[in-house]
Structure 1
Amino acid sequence: MTDLLYSEVEEELRSSVRSLLQDRVDLSRLEGPEPVDMKLWRTLAADLGFAGLPVPESAGGAGASWREAAVVMEELGRTVAPVPFLGSAVLATAALPLGDPLLAELASGARTATLAIPLSTSDAPRWTVEARDGVLDGEVTTVADALTADVFLVPTAAGLFAVEQNDVRRTAVVSLDLTRPVADLALRQAPGRLVAENAGERVAKALLSGAAMLASEQLGIAEWCLATTVDYAKTRRQFARPIGSYQAIKHRLADLWVQVTQARAVARYAADCLAGDDEDLAVAASLAQAFCSPVAVKAAEECVQLHGGIGFTWEHPAHWYLKRARANAAALGSATRHRALLANLVNLPG
């Protein structure tokens, strides 16, 4: 039976993650040459073991589930933390078979990896890399968390290969969202280790996992934007009264609260289906992206607009949330694309 409520363990996990991120996330570093905070990532992944939450203990992980990983994703979204959790702890981890030694290294935080597919991929990507006798040639564009990855999981028609970073040429791409940099990859006679022969199945699993987990991050973004805007509306005064007392502001925030509450239920259902390997996972993941993606964008836009002049300045963090929400709206398939996938899954006519 699906349980959308947070367990006591999950709430304790949330408290520890939130406390750490509130103390350690520094968005001012995003203007510097190294926006990704690898020191914070090592604390999350290696010291606290959050990178291995969904990995069984027998495979070197924490033996929790994707539900706990979703809680971490919520808090990362709440702070737009610049760490490679999506690429390494979600996409790469989900793509690897349980018996592969790289999985334990990712779970322990000893190494990072990412799945070498365009960030916008939603389903059945076209292989752009060829493999012959374990040697890979080709290019992949806009790969998330590629600049900090130690290993790349590269899908080809011959299988899924692990390629070391030194054998891949990475070119940074200007991105709307500096908190999650992307890069183009070029492989020229790159040696690879065969991880799995069924690359299509491994990538499909990773995409479902990524879509489900990304919804939790989008939920965290929306929750921060709503809470911050409500607090501001209580204190900002115009015409000798708080702007939150005006009916037009009340209605906008009330509508947003309803949408965020609904998004929480949708994201939790996707996380629970992923954790239980439910047969409804494909529907839950596409539903989560179709619903949570627009809610996160709406919440970020309302946050900027209802903060008035200060919301449009670089000094206020609202613009980072809007950029992350907008970038996430195109990541792993747009809401429109997932609605189309969802229609096919539930046998709706075209």
Structure 2
Amino acid sequence: MTASSYATEFEVAAMELLDAQMARGPIREQREKAGWSESLWAAFVDAGWLDVMLPDDLGGLGLGIREISGIFTAAGKQLVPGPLFDNAVAVPLVVSGATRTEHLRALVAGRKRISLADGAASSQPAESRPRIADGRLFGSVDLVRCGGGTVEHLLVVVEHPEPTLVMASTATAGLTSRHRRSFDPAAECAQVVFDGAEFEPLFENRSGEPERAASRITQLRDAARLLYAHEAAGTARHLLDSAVSYAKEREQFGRPIGAFQAVAHLLATLATRQLTLEAACEQGLDLWDGDPVRRGVAAATAKAIAADVGRSVGEGALQVHGGIAFTHEFPLHRWHLHALSLQGLYGDQRVLAAELGHLLLHEGLEP
């Protein structure tokens, strides 16, 4: 079976699981009211979603980004809540690349939920991000995506004085977690402040380790951009499919509204933009295992397109549905809000356009 087939199989299996879980009233209500469901998260764990990229020696499948991408597309279609990227991707990437992972491996074996704390996720100013001084953690991360408003263990990206990754428990002294209100129906968020907190290092203190850690951080952020682009593509696909279905069913002046030229042109434009996003996501997967610079460019390009397309397809889908789409009771707005939330993660289209322009103009990278 090819990697592409794996991605398709994972997406199909994930959609089947989610369809079955969302048919359960209590889970659906928990997700809609609280943006979180422990039962739903347990179903993800039981289905092996967190094992896809785990190394073989930890009982995982040892697969890669392409294979797991289908799960993120399905997650976008169904508004899956919780720190899926953190546990299914970030943790396996770090476990396979760091040199001191005993504590992290123990958490994985115990199925402990972990949240990624990376100031770059919200384009937070570098001077306020986590740093190490006198063997302790200081600084803050303004946006940590978590489940149920509770963060128990953190995988922290540190950039000063040297780039590294560390583990920290929110129970430790000097660490404060504050719940943040989120308009995203599929995300509970927190702000985490470090004021002399203890931590567990994941890289040895020896020559060459900062460069190795920096490479792992770059890879992690590239993966975040590419897979959040896939999630945005899934969300936009649901919005587009809902708009098309509604245009076929809703009648005005004795015929479906999709028969009117203005609506048909709008849907065609949305479909074209959606296909562009899906093509950019596929290109990102094709370039993932090649040159790291081109991998990063492809991931940033996919995320930039996702930021723009997710918003525009959401707005277009709401427009097709008319006034009913703007009522709180109508569920479609939840997907639109999720698309807006994904827009800024690891850079929106403006931030990423500037970054890509810098690479083209100053780093000698060819288009």
TM value normalised by structure 2: 0.84
Aligned to 2:217: 203
Tell me the residue number matched to 1:20. 17
Do 2:166 and 2:199's aligned partners in 1 also have CA atoms closer than 8 Å?
A: yes
Between stretches 196-205 and 214-223, larger displacement belongs to: 196-205
Q: Any conservation in 1 of the 2:167–2:199 contact (CA below 8 Å)?
A: yes
The equivalent residue for 2:156 is: 154
Aligned residues: 343
1:293 pairs with 293, 300, 307, which one? Answer: 307
Q: Does 1:145 pair with 2:149?
A: no
Choose from 160, 170, 185 the match for 2:177.
170
**In the TM superposition, what is the alpha-carbon distance from 1:30 to its structure 2 partner?**
4.3
**1:47 equivalent in alignment to 2:46:** yes
* 1:59–1:10 Cα change, 3 Å: same
Aligned partner letter, 1:285: A
Q: Find the counterpart in structure 2 of residue 36 from structure 1.
A: 36
Q: What letter matches 2:56 in structure 1?
A: E
Is 2:264 aligned against 1:265? no
The SS at the match of 1:161 is: strand
**1:309 is aligned with what amino acid?**
G
Q: Which residue of 348, 352, 363 corresponds with 1:334?
A: 348
Does the aligned pair in 2 maintain the 1:84–1:148 contact within 8 Å?
no
Letter of the aligned partner of 1:163 in structure 2?
A
Question: Counterpart of 1:39 in structure 2: which amino acid?
Answer: S
Distance in 1 (CA, whole Å) between partners of 2:293 and 2:138 is 36
Partner AA of 2:168 in structure 1: V
Write the distance in 1 (CA, Å) between the matches of 2:108 and 2:232. Answer: 23
- Aligned-partner Cα distance in 2 for 1:106–1:276: 31
Counterparts of 1:188-227 in structure 2, within 5 Å, are: 188-196=195-203, 198=210, 199-227=213-241
Write the distance in 1 (CA, Å) between the matches of 2:341 and 2:47.
28
Structure 2 residues not aligned, in runs of 5+: 204-208
- Aligned sequence identity (%): 27
- Deviations 1:188-211 (Å, cap 9, x if unpaired)? 332211112535443322211100
> C-alpha separation between the residues in 2 aligned to 1:122 and 1:29?
30
Higher relative contact order by CA 8 Å / sep ≥ 6: 1 or 2?
1
The worse-fitting range, judged by mean Cα deviation, of 241-250 and 138-147 is 138-147
- On the 8 A contact 1:38/1:83 being kept in 2, the answer is no
Q: 8 Å contact 1:131–1:137 — kept in the other structure? A: yes
Cα RMSD (Å) of the superposition? Answer: 2.7
- Letter of the 1:73 partner, please give it: F
Which residue of the partner structure matches residue 66 of structure 2?
Answer: 67
1:127 CA displacement: 5.5
Take 2:200 and 2:315, find their aligned partners in 1: how far apart are those partners? Answer: 45
Q: CA 1:43/1:329 → structure 2, altered by over 3 Å: closer, same or farther?
A: same
Call closer, same or farther: CA 1:108–1:75 in 2, change over 3 Å: farther
Q: 1:181 is matched by which residue type in structure 2?
A: E
Q: What is residue 111 of structure 1 aligned with on the other side?
A: 112
